Amino acid sequence: MAISPAKIVVHENWDSYRIRNDIALIKLATPVTFSDTIMAACLPDSGEILSDGAPCYVTGWGRLWTGGPIADILQQALLPVVGHSTCTRSDWWGSLVTSNMVCAGGDGELASCNGDSGGPLNCQNRDGTWDVHGVVSFGSSMGCNYPKKPSVFTRVSAYIPWINNVMTRN
């Protein structure tokens, strides 16, 4: 199923050089009919911070490995959350990672890869429901599965007020 966008709203403070505010919303031209395979995504509470080691899943259609082919079936990988204090260490991502981002993975085995950008980082709540806690933003230029360079996601909970504002206006 393909639905054209009616409008794309990129965050007004998007900074491609410093990779800040890497988030956008898409208003679809026609409504979506929900089914067993098409459902609404739930969002976390505003300001919610995931705990270190929280099990989350990235999904995407990107490369299967560094320089590898693009996926022809949707891929998923379990990526434990890496705490902000670890992810911002100088031998990890350092000051490139802000509090508006969440890191996951970094074991050198599994990661998001080129082509996964914009895809979700989904984490299960205690009641069994799932929330979209992250949006794939960037990874290491040294390779998709580089040790101490976890996948970096825009932290959705940091943008709930912005999301609500855009939804109200559009």
For the segment 2-18, what is each residue's pLDDT rounded down to a tens digit? 899 999 999 999 999 99
Nearest to 50 by CA among 83, 24, 72: 83
- Domains of the chain are 42-158 (2.40.10.10)
Nearest to 154 by CA among 5, 43, 6: 43
Euclidean distance between the first and the last CA atom of the chain, given in angstroms as a whole number = 23
The two three-digit tokens of residue 73, written as one number: 């079936």
What's the Rg (C-alpha) of the chain? 16
For the segment 39-70, what is each residue's pLDDT rounded down to a tens digit? 999 999 999 999 999 999 999 999 999 999 99
